[in-house]
C-alpha cells in the first residue's frame, strides 16, 4: 500500500513545472488531431499511433491490450523502487458531435467524454518528465494509454491482469477525468468509492399475444412491463438505505409490431449502479420485483445481468497524500474577506474532497491489484451552475483547450506526491523533496 508522506508534502520541481508549460501547445495540437479522428473501443490503433508518434523520441513503448501502449521513464523495474503508473483512455463514443468546433469529428464517432483531453495531458506530462529529467521524480513514471474504457471487454481489466504491466512494479495507479459537475478550476480528490459499479440488465416479459379488441384473451406483456418499470424505480427509494447511493435506470423499451396487436413479448434494457449501496442486494431486489410483478399479470419474466465494472474505490492513504500536495484551499473553505477570493490551491486549482458520482469507469479494475486514485477536474464555466450545461456523453460536450493544461498540472502534482509516498522510509530521499 502507499505510504503517507511527511507533514510537509513534496513540492513540484520548478524545472518540471517549466517543462510542462513548454509542452502544452504541442499537447493541444495532439488533442485536436485525436478529436478530429476519433476511434471506437477496440479500434484505437490509429489514436495510439498518434500518441506514439508524439512520444517517439522518448524511448521504446510496449504495446498492451491489443490497441494500447505504455511507456516507462526513469529507472528500470526494481522491487525497492515502485513506479507510479498513470492511465489515459484512447477510445471515443458512437455519437454524432454537435460542438461546432473547427476540429470537430464529422462522422458518427466523437470524443464527447473528454478522453482526448486526458490523453493529451498525459502526453504533456510524459514529455515534461523526459525533458526535465526523470530523476526529478522520486519514482519512475509509467504512462499507460489504455483502450476500451467505454465498452467491454474492459481495457483496464486487460492491462491490470497483464504480466507485462505487473513487471513494471507499479506501486500506485493514477487516473483523471474532466467533470462538468464541478466548477472550473476545481480538482477533486477523496478516498473511498467515487464512481459506482455498473451492470447492464435486460428484462424480457413473456405473455400471450392476441387482438387488441379482445384483451381478456391475452396476457399483456406490455402492461406487465409497464408495472415492472414503475416498480423497479421504487427499489432504491424503499429497499436501499437512504444514506447510501445506488441507481437503476431503464433506458430502452421494446414491444409490439402494430397498434392493435398485443405482442407475445416486451423487453426493457438498462443499468444498475451501486456506489456504496450493496450491488448484490440491488440485483436481488430487482429480480424479485421483475418476476413477481410479471406473475401478477399472468406473465413470466426473465432478468439477464451482464456484469460490467466494479465501483471505483480510491485508496484512502493515496488520496490523503495527493490531496495534501494539491491544495492549500478547499472548495468549501470560507473566503477570507481580507484576501479576495482566498489563496488558490497548487497550480491554480481549488481542492474539493466531497465529489463522487454514480458514473462508472473501468479504472476500478486497477484498484483490485494496486492502490489507485481517480482525480476529477472541473469544467463548468465561471458563473455557470455545475451540471447545467452539456454533460459527459452529450453531443455538445467538449472542454476547451485550456483544460489540457489544467488536467496536466493536476496529474503532474499527483505523480510527484504519489512517487514521494512510495519511497521506502529508510531511503535518504525521504528527507528531501525533489529540487523544491
Instruction: Name the β-bridge partners of 186.
Output: 350
**Domain assignment of residue 5, yes or no:** no
pLDDT at 295: 98
Of 261, 279, 309, which residue is a domain's last? 309
Per-residue pLDDT at 334 exceeds 60: no
Q: How confident is the model at residue 423 (pLDDT cuts 50, 70, 90)?
A: confident
Between 78 and 334, name the one with better pLDDT: 78
* Sequence-separated (6 or more) residues with CB below 8 Å from residue 262: 207, 208, 209, 210, 211, 212, 215, 218, 220, 221, 222, 256
Domain hosting 222: range is 197-309
Residues with Cβ within 8 Å of residue 339, at least 6 apart in sequence: none
- Examine residue 48 and state whether it is found in any structural domain, yes or no: yes
- Per-residue pLDDT of 120-155, as tens digits, reads 999 999 999 999 999 999 999 999 999 999 998 999
Measured CA to CA, the distance from residue 89 to residue 47 in angstroms comes to 10
How many domains does the structure of the chain reveal? 2
Residue 436 lies in a domain: no
Q: Which of 375, 378, 377, 379 is nearest to 414 (CA)?
A: 375
Q: DSSP label at 72? A: E
pLDDT digits (tens, 9 = 90+) for 75-96: 999 988 999 999 999 999 999 9
- Among the three residues 309, 340, 371, which one is the final residue of a domain in this structure? 309
pLDDT band at 10 (very low <50, low <70, confident <90, very high): low
pLDDT in tens, 241-296: 999 999 999 999 999 999 999 999 999 999 999 999 999 999 999 999 999 999 99
Based on the domain organization, do 318 and 390 belong to the same domain? Answer: yes
Give the model's pLDDT for residue 153: 93
Q: Taking all residues of the chain, what is their mean pLDDT, rounded to a whole number?
A: 91
Q: Please report the pLDDT score of residue 345 as a whole number.
A: 53
pLDDT tens figures, 44-64? 999 999 999 999 999 999 999
Q: Give the model's pLDDT for residue 65.
A: 98
Indicate the residue among 280, 309, 338 that finishes a domain. Answer: 309
* pTM for the full predicted model: 0.89
Q: Can you tell me the distance from the alpha carbon of 291 to that of 127, in angstroms, rounded to the nearest whole number?
A: 56
Domain for residue 6, yes or no? no
Residue 87, pLDDT score: 98
Cα–Cα distances (Å) from 404 to 152, 158, 263, 370, in that order, read 27, 27, 52, 27
For residue 319, what pLDDT is reported? 96
Is there a domain that residue 426 lies in? yes
Give the residue carrying C-alpha cell 447545467: 388
Q: Judge whether residue 435 has pLDDT over 80.
A: no
Q: In whole angstroms, what is the distance from residue 406 CA to residue 327 CA?
A: 14
**H-helix or E-strand spanning residue 278:** none
Amino acid at each position: 500500500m502507499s505510504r503517507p508522506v511527511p507533514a510537509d508534502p513534496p513540492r513540484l520541481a520548478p524545472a518540471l513545472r517549466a517543462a510542462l508549460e513548454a509542452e502544452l501547445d504541442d499537447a493541444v495540437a495532439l488533442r485536436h488531431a485525436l478529436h478530429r479522428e476519433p476511434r471506437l473501443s477496440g479500434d484505437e490503433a490509429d489514436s495510439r499511433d498518434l500518441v506514439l508518434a508524439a512520444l517517439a523520441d522518448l524511448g521504446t513503448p510496449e504495446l498492451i491490450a491489443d490497441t494500447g501502449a505504455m511507456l516507462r521513464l526513469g529507472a528500470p523495474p526494481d522491487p525497492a523502487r515502485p513506479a507510479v503508473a498513470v492511465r489515459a483512455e484512447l477510445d471515443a463514443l458512437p455519437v454524432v458531435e454537435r460542438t461546432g468546433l473547427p476540429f470537430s469529428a464529422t462522422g458518427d464517432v466523437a470524443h464527447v467524454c473528454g478522453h482526448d483531453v486526458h490523453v493529451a495531458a498525459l502526453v504533456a506530462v510524459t514529455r515534461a518528465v523526459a525533458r526535465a529529467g526523470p530523476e526529478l521524480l522520486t519514482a519512475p513514471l509509467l504512462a499507460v494509454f489504455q483502450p476500451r474504457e467505454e465498452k467491454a471487454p474492459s481495457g483496464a481489466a486487460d492491462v491490470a491482469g497483464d504480466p507485462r504491466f505487473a513487471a513494471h512494479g507499479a506501486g500506485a495507479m493514477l487516473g483523471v477525468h474532466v467533470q462538468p459537475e464541478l466548477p472550473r478550476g476545481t480538482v477533486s480528490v477523496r478516498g473511498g468509492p467515487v464512481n459506482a459499479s455498473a451492470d447492464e440488465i435486460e428484462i424480457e416479459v413473456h405473455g400471450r399475444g392476441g387482438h387488441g379488441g379482445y384483451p381478456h384473451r391475452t396476457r399483456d406483456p406490455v402492461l406487465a412491463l409497464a408495472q415492472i418499470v414503475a416498480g423497479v424505480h421504487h427499489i432504491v427509494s424503499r429497499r436501499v438505505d437512504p444514506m447510501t447511493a445506488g441507481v437503476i435506470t431503464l433506458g430502452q423499451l421494446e414491444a409490439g409490431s402494430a397498434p392493435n396487436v398485443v405482442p407475445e413479448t416486451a423487453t426493457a434494457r438498462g443499468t444498475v449502479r451501486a456506489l456504496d449501496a450493496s450491488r448484490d442486494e440491488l440485483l436481488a431486489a430487482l429480480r424479485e420485483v421483475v418476476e413477481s410483478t410479471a406473475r401478477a399479470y399472468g406473465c413470466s419474466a426473465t432478468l439477464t445481468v451482464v456484469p460490467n465494472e466494479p465501483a471505483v474505490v480510491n485508496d484512502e492513504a493515496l488520496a490523503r497524500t495527493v490531496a495534501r500536495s494539491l491544495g492549500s484551499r478547499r472548495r468549501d473553505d470560507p473566503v477570507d474577506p481580507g484576501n479576495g477570493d482566498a489563496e488558490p490551491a497548487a497550480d491554480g486549482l481549488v481542492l474539493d474532497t466531497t465529489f463522487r458520482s454514480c458514473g462508472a469507469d473501468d479504472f476500478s479494475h486497477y484498484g483490485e491489484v494496486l492502490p489507485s486514485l481517480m482525480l476529477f477536474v472541473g469544467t463548468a464555466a465561471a458563473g455557470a451552475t455545475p451540471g447545467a450545461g452539456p454533460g459527459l456523453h452529450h453531443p455538445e460536450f467538449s472542454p476547451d483547450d485550456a483544460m489540457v493544461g489544467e488536467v496536466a498540472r493536476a496529474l503532474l502534482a499527483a505523480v510527484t506526491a504519489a512517487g514521494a509516498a512510495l519511497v521506502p522510509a529508510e531511503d535518504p530521499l525521504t528527507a528531501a523533496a525533489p529540487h523544491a
